[in-house]
Every structure is written in structure tokens, then in C-alpha cells.
Structure 1
Amino acid sequence: MSIAPDNARRDPHHRYRAMREFLEPMDDTLPGKFEITKEGIVHDMMSPGGPHEVTAAHISRRLEKVMPDELLAHNGTPDVENEPEGIMRHPDVMVIAWTDLDTEAAIDPHDVIAAVEVVSRSNPDNDWVGKMRDYALIGIPVYAIFDPRTGTGAVLTDIHPTPDGPRYATRKDFVYGEDVTIADWTISTANLPLYPNT
């Protein structure tokens, strides 16, 4: 679901700041995850636990086993924010250097080596459409999507200019069970859970 406050329909910077102020008191009181896109506020009503979090935890652990020690596959806070573009996202997993995580503010997207999303059952277009657009727009060089609805995914790379703004030029699809390369590291996708009744 996307919403935007009525008083935020003027210039883009004012609109973005109004949405940030609108979200601040809600983050700890309402379930799910709030993010800001070009279209407005996205509220993803993901369920705690289950295949979504298990998948994110597996990906994080598998990446950290093959990455150098100065990097981590982080699946906590803070958000990734590009205020000039009016975008604030929260990847399920982000590959980042420990030194770049040491900040009081949001993460600069240019410090993110790769973003990983586990597709939400409640709002799959947020991952397959919105984040695919936004992560390229704010310069995250690698975007990997894992979809527990279908047991498939994709890795997107090679940002290039288009008339609609920067977009990923290369997409490599995979099915669960295959090895997948995210940035410089290859991990297994074996034994990742699926959503029930899919």
C-alpha cells in the first residue's frame, strides 16, 4: 500500500521531509515495515518470523562465510536513504563494510555493495518493481531478489542510463537449489524455505 500526506504535494524535498516526519512516530507502534519511494510511503505488512526471516538469515550467514572479515551481510537497522532522490529503503540484507555501518544516521546507498530482498507475500511488487527501480536510481550496484512464493529469484547488475532514469541492464534468474553469485561471492540457494500453500 502506498500513501503520501496531503501537505506533502509541493516540491519534492518538502514532500520527502513531510513523509519522514509522518513516519517517525509510527515505526515502533505499527507492525510491518515503512519505506519511502517516488510514489509515496510503502507499508509492507510482513509477518514476523517464518520463511521471510529464515531466508534472510540463511542468505546473511551464507554470504558471511565467503566474504572477507571487513564486510558483513547485515539484516538489521538502519535504513538506506538518499534524501535528494526522496528515497528511504530498508533492505532485508545489505552487504556493507563494518566501517560504513558505524553511523548514527541512515546508510549512504553508495556504501552498499549489494542489497538483498526476500519477496514479501503481502506486497511482491514492492520488491520486484519498486525496489528494482529505486535501488538502481540510488546507485546500489547489485540487487538480489529471493522469492519464497515460487522458489526463484534474480540478481540485477550493471546500472545504465535510460530515459526513465538509471536501471539495471543485466538480470540473471535462478531457481532455488542453484548456486547464485551476488557481487563477488557465490552461495548456495539449497534448502531455502517456501511460503506455505504456494
Structure 2
Amino acid sequence: MTIAPDDARQGASHRYRAIRAFVQSTDDTLPGKLEITKEGIVHDMMAPVGPHELTTVHLRRRLEKVMPEENVAHTGEPDVEDESEGIMRRPDVMVIAMVDMDVPGSFDPRTLIAAIEVVSRSNPDNDWVTKMRDYPLIGIPVYAIFDPRTGEGAVLTDIHSTPDGPRYATRKDFVYGEDVTIGDWTIPTDGLPLYKDRTGTESEG
């Protein structure tokens, strides 16, 4: 049987809506957060406290000190969603204009100024691999990654077309202690926490 393109799109859209309904029904009952990517559901078992959350607090405060008042570094709900691509994500920090937050449901990812992720200790590939692919695909212009495992990170910009779809063309790596530019604003990265091993010693990679 041949499936017409419109039928295939409708089938994919129906599948995505079913997955989204499941994710939303379980969102308050499971630890961490559930997101939807091209491969299906991703369960990020991020630590609810400690270096992960403390890093998001530091980043939010540092950005809001240098950004104009009409922009915020938002943490928490809602998700960013592109149903046509079958992707629903919830960045740890979303840099966005307040006016673009006044919408029903999920944020349009193309209204974000930047998405920032603090790498999960349990699933680092979610931040370093799949989100690096998903975020340019849904039009997020700047993606910044902070990795408390290593005290390093990267800022990715300049979406361009490739045979595999939109990708970031520019990557600027940094180590904690250096200033880092996200969008139009530069913040310090000194004093950001690192994950600790079971002995309580800070991780060095």
C-alpha cells in the first residue's frame, strides 16, 4: 500500500499528539522531566537539587542583571514545542521576551532568544547530542550548554542548512571561570558548582 505524503504527515501528527498526551498525563508523577524528540520520549532524571538547580539559579540571576527588563531568563514551565517536527522540550533556562510568554500552551521555540541546558549527570547525551540536533531544527537561534561534570561548556549559534537538516554552524567552547556570551549579553562563569562524586569530591571529568 502506498501512503500519500499528506496521509503520512497526518499519521505522524496523530502519533505525536498521542505521545504528548501521555507525557502530559505523567508529568507530575515521575521524577525529572519527560520530553519528546524524533526518537520518542526522553526521560531526564536530573537531580532536583544540588549543582544542577544551583547552576540554573546562577545563570538566571547573572543574565537578568545584564539584560533589558523586557527580557527574562525563565526556568520551569511551559515547554517549547514544534508539532510539525514532533519535538517538545523544556530547556533549563529560556531567554525570552516577556511579551512572547503571553501565549496559551507551549512557547513557540522560534520566539526564544536562547535556550540554556545544564548537563544532566545521568544522561549527558540528551544535552550534548540530541538537543544539539533538535534545537536548530525547531529554530532556537542560540544554544548554550553548561556541564557541571567537567566545568566546561559551549555556545552554539548560526543555524544553517545541511543535508541532515538545520544545524548550528558556530561553536564556541569555554571553561568555567571564563566570561561567556549568550546572545547579546556576556556573563561570568566563575563560581558555578560542579558535580561531586560519592566521596564528596568535586568531579574533574
Match of 1:43 in 2: 43
- 1:19 paired with 2:15, answer no
> Which whole-Å CA distance do the structure 1 matches of 2:67 and 2:19 have between them?
36
Match of 2:200 in 1: none
Question: Deviation of residue 104 (structure 1)?
Answer: 2.4
In the superposition, the TM-score normalised over structure 1's length comes to 0.94
- Structure 1 gaps of 5+ residues are 1-9
> Which whole-Å CA distance do the structure 1 matches of 2:75 and 2:23 have between them?
21
Counterpart of 1:124, as a letter, is P
Match of 2:111 in 1: 111
Match of 1:132 in 2: 132
- Structure 2 gaps of 5+ residues are 1-9, 198-202
Match of 1:152 in 2: 152
Match of 1:188 in 2: 188
Question: Deviation of residue 102 (structure 1)?
Answer: 1.6
> Which whole-Å CA distance do the structure 1 matches of 2:25 and 2:103 have between them?
21
| Partner SS, residue 68 of structure 2 | coil
Counterpart of 2:52, as a letter, is H
In the superposition, the TM-score normalised over structure 2's length comes to 0.91
Question: Deviation of residue 24 (structure 1)?
Answer: 1.9
User: Once superposed, which parts of structure 1, at least 4 consecutive aligned residues long, lie more than 4 Å away?
Assistant: none
Any idea what the Cα deviations from partners look like across 1:121-155, whole Å, max 9, x if unmatched? 01000000011100000000000000000000000
> Which whole-Å CA distance do the structure 1 matches of 2:23 and 2:79 have between them?
13
Counterpart of 2:127, as a letter, is D
Match of 1:170 in 2: 170
From the CA coordinates, give the structure whose radius of gyration is larger: 2
Root-mean-square deviation over aligned CA pairs: 0.9
> Which whole-Å CA distance do the structure 2 matches of 1:153 and 1:163 have between them?
26
Question: Deviation of residue 18 (structure 1)?
Answer: 1.2
| Partner SS, residue 46 of structure 1 | coil
| Aligned pairs, number | 189
> Which whole-Å CA distance do the structure 1 matches of 2:46 and 2:190 have between them?
23
Match of 1:121 in 2: 121
